[in-house]
Amino acid sequence: MLILHAHIYLNMNNKGKKSNSGGRKPERKEIRENRKKSGFSKKKPTSKSHKPDNLTRLNKYLADAGVCSRREADRLIESGVVKINGKVVTQLGTKVLPSDKVQYAGQTLKREKLRYLLLNKPKGFITTLDDPQNRRTVMTLVENACKERIYPVGRLDRNTLGLLLFTNDGEMTKKLTHPKFGVKKIYHVFLDKNLKKDDLDKIAGGMQLEDGFIKPDTIAYTTRDNDKKQIGIELHSGRNRIVRRVFESLGYNVIKLDRVFFAGLTKKDLPRGKWRMLKESEVNLLKRLG
């Protein structure tokens, strides 16, 4: 292609001129000179190790290692507790190579592959990394899922079923659990008795609980028949046992609670007690939140 462009350039410059070469072909030296004049100089490929995308910002490296969010990582860097190749680094925006040794709190960090796993939690498992009382934890359900160490995002109480996300992405965890991002959650509630229309309206309008005001985004009966024990409620609060406390405050007992929607994720094709890795499109969806 470059030779073709060179010939075109020569032909355009020699058009209407009498050739002194008697129709001879241009020498390689002439072609190279004309390439330079026409802007078609061939550049040597840049070494992969020097490409900008081979560098990672230090705060992202800390987040990818599961230490904390990027914003929190900036504070750690400024406080002087992070080292690169044995030297303390306090400059924000510092970038590291894959070969660099990054340390925090005396431990060498490893930038792991980011994992995102969705579990359909069954009843009887507590959301914690370990339990001194030897009760079953959600970690036993995902212990062989990947070699990276993953953590639950938020929590579901022992008797609550449904969607629970796990990841080693510290920044993502911070986003999905911080109230300002308003991550949407939908619960299917099973009550011990029919929910009165007046009580449904009270909940819809907002209620004052012992730890503050709570107002769901939406609430409705999930069936069209006279069975009004099943309720769908959508809210973004992450307060402890918030759904159960809303109904208990009005004299109802929640006999079953199932989180069926979390941050755009659903239980479709995910049986109870099973897990799956998120698709790339789902991860991108989570990254766009907020």
Q: Which backbone phi and psi does 189 adopt, to 5 degrees?
A: -105, 130
Around Cβ 240, how many Cβ atoms within 10 Å? Answer: 10
Q: Could you confirm whether 269 is annotated as catalytic?
A: no
Q: Could you give the CA distance from residue 250 to residue 47 in angstroms, rounded to a whole number?
A: 68
**Nearest partner of 72 among 89, 56, 58, 54, judged by Cα:** 58
Maximum alpha-carbon separation in the chain = 105
Q: Which two tokens stand for residue 192?
A: 């011990």
Q: Which residues pair with 258 in a beta bridge?
A: 161, 188
3-state DSSP assignment of residue 279: coil
What DSSP element (H or E) covers 67?
none
State whether residue 167 is helix, strand or coil.
strand
Q: Is-contact 117 149, C-beta < 8 A? A: no
How many angstroms separate the CA atoms of 139 and 155, rounded?
Answer: 12
Question: Among 130, 131, 157, 192, which one carries the catalytic annotation?
Answer: 157
DSSP 3-state of 205? helix
What 3-state DSSP class applies to 104?
strand
Q: Tell me if 38 sits within 8 A of 9, measured CB to CB.
A: yes
Q: Which residues are catalytic?
A: 157
